[in-house]
């Protein structure tokens, strides 16, 4: 069993994986540090009722590795890490559990910096902050940068301009049709930016009230999720859940390009080739959705919103570089993004600091 766990961890080059248990509060968590080559490993804490420990371990290993690539591509002096808290946040969240989690994070001495993720919120990070300084995304009164979603949306606009520029020869969004699937925190802010830039925007969400709000607030066109996914749009922007691009959905797409914030949009690695073979330009999610982490990284040097906002423009430049590399080398945009991230990691000494 022990070898099986080490094999699992070593396969993707993780540096350290820590199991945390605190019986009085019911905390069971795993912290995975994939790489600290470029700096301390930053990544959110996902609080979910995992089916079992194996599922939780697989998730934290995959997500922490993704954070290494995301931070490297964002040009940040940060590594990749992630935490999972096993349990149902609706019934098991408590200050005692979050504080116990904070003490474990603190015991890592700054090698891992935690933040919010699915199942945790800014208020939870404020509680974690009572136990450790190694937490980001706390509320602004505590010196944090607040909700990262507006920065993620603003960064996505830089990426969209790069995508449209690459595909159509001009970064201008005026008159372009963008179908946004998922108008939650990121998607709704994105719609506002797109409409202000003159784009024609279609919106879909499982929650009709969110769609309605976009129609009333921004004059967006409402449609059902399937119609938005298969819209004859210049750009499809998936901003809900991951794994929406697969062997079934890709043949049905009619968009020219895909650029959205949803994490892990490709169901499997082969989907990057499936998109390329259909002539659909895919901007990898971990390149275009780094606005939130860029914003949070500013906290670590003393948060300044103006400086953080200016840094988001780098997402456009990196997206352009990835798309151009893919064309030049005849590889998928995912391969091009991974190569660029690995170049930055190699320059920093490889993927492992040890
Ligand atoms: P959110 O929960 O605020 O919004 C998600 C929206 O998607 C909700 O309105 C929900 O009703 C809708 N939705 C859920 N399932 C759907 C489906 N099958 N079809 C259509 N709509 C569906 O989340 P968010 O913070 O806006 O994040 C959106 C995505 O972007 C997530 O994948 C997240 O991991 C990723 N992301 C977010 C940030 C950030 O700063 N918030 C940063 C990087 C990546």
Lowest mean pLDDT among 48-52, 203-207, 266-270, 346-350: 346-350
Is residue 227 within 8 Å of residue 191, measured between CB atoms? no
63-92 core/surface letters (b: 16 or more CB in 10 A; e: else):
bbbbbbbbbbbbbbebbbbbbbbbbebeeb
Instruction: Please give the pLDDT value at position 242.
Output: 86
Mean pLDDT of the chain: 95
Q: Over the stretch 278-327, which tens digit does the pLDDT of each residue have?
A: 999 999 999 999 999 999 999 988 899 999 999 999 999 999 999 999 99
* Dist CA 62 CA 8 (whole Å): 11
pLDDT above 70 for 352: no
* Dist CA 250 CA 159 (whole Å): 21
Pick the CATH number of 149-344 from 3.30.930.10, 3.40.50.720, 2.60.120.260, 3.40.50.960: 3.40.50.720
pLDDT above 80 for 350: no
Average pLDDT over residues 342-346: 94
Distance of CA 349 from the midpoint of ligand 1 (Å): 34
Instruction: Please give the pLDDT value at position 143.
Output: 86
pLDDT above 90 for 354: no
Atom number of ligand 1 nearest to Cα 118 = 34
Instruction: Please give the pLDDT value at position 11.
Output: 84
Tell me the pLDDT band of 52, cut-offs 50, 70 and 90. Answer: very high
Average pLDDT over residues 70-94: 97
Q: Over the stretch 107-120, which tens digit does the pLDDT of each residue have?
A: 999 999 999 998 99
Instruction: Please give the pLDDT value at position 238.
Output: 98
Pick from 144, 182, 288 the residue to mutate for probing ligand 1's pocket: most ligand atoms within 8 Å of its CB: 182
Residues near ligand 1 with C-beta < 6 Å?
148-149, 152, 181-187, 204-207, 210, 225, 239-242, 261-263, 289, 292
Average pLDDT over residues 82-93: 98
Atom number of ligand 1 nearest to Cα 244 = 18
Q: Over the stretch 167-179, which tens digit does the pLDDT of each residue have?
A: 999 999 999 999 9
Distance of CA 288 from the midpoint of ligand 1 (Å): 14
* Dist CA 258 CA 274 (whole Å): 13
Please tell me the pTM assigned to this model: 0.92
Distance of CA 22 from the midpoint of ligand 1 (Å): 31
Phi-psi region of 289 (alpha: psi -120 to 50; beta: other; left: phi over 0): alpha
Q: Domain limits of the chain?
A: 2-64+80-138, 149-344
Q: Over the stretch 243-260, which tens digit does the pLDDT of each residue have?
A: 999 999 999 999 999 999
Q: Over the stretch 139-182, which tens digit does the pLDDT of each residue have?
A: 988 889 988 999 999 999 999 999 999 999 999 999 999 999 99
How far CA 296 is from CA of 85, 105, 123, 300, in Å, comes to 21, 17, 15, 7
Architecture category of domain 2-64+80-138 in CATH: 3-Layer(aba) Sandwich (3.40)
Query: Between 12 and 194, whose confidence is greater?
Result: 194
Residues belonging to the active site: 82
What is the DSSP annotation of 55-99?
HHHHHHHHHHHHHHHHHHHTT-S-EEEEEEEES-HHHH--HHHHH
């Amino acid at each position: 069993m022990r070898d099986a766990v080490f094999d699992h961890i070593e396969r993707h080059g993780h540096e350290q994986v820590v199991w945390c248990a605190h019986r009085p509060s019911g905390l069971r968590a795993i912290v995975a540090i994939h790489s600290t080559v470029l700096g301390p490993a930053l990544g959110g804490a996902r609080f979910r009722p995992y089916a079992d420990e194996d599922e939780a371990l697989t998730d934290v290993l995959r997500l922490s590795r993704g954070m290494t690539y995301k931070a490297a591509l964002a040009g940040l002096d940060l590594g990749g890490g992630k935490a999972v808290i096993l349990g149902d946040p609706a019934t098991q969240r408590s200050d005692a559990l979050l504080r116990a989690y904070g003490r474990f994070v603190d015991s890592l001495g700054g090698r891992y910096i935690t933040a919010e993720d699915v199942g945790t919120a800014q208020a939870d990070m404020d509680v974690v902050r009572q136990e450790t300084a190694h937490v980001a995304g706390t509320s602004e009164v505590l010196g944090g940068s607040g909700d990262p979603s507006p920065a993620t949306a603003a960064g996505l606009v830089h990426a969209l301009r790069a995508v449209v520029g690459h595909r159509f020869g001009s970064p201008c969004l005026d008159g372009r049709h963008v179908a946004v699937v998922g108008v939650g925190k990121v998607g709704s802010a994105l719609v506002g930016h797109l409409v202000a830039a003159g784009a024609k925007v279609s919106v879909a969400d499982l929650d009709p009230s969110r769609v309605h709000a976009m129609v009333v607030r921004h004059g967006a066109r409402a449609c059902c999720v399937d119609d938005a996914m298969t819209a004859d749009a210049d750009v499809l922007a998936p901003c809900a859940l991951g794994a929406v691009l697969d062997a079934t959905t890709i043949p049905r797409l009619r968009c020219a390009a895909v650029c959205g914030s949803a994490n892990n949009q490709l169901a499997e690695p082969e989907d990057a080739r499936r998109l390329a073979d259909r002539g659909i330009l895919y901007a990898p999610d971990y390149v275009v959705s780094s606005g939130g982490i860029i914003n949070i990284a500013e906290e670590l040097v003393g948060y300044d919103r103006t400086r953080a906002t200016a840094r988001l423009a780098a997402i456009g430049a990196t997206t352009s570089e990835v798309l151009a590399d893919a064309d030049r080398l005849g590889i998928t945009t995912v391969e091009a993004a991974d190569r660029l991230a690995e170049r930055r990691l190699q320059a920093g000494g490889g993927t492992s600091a040890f």
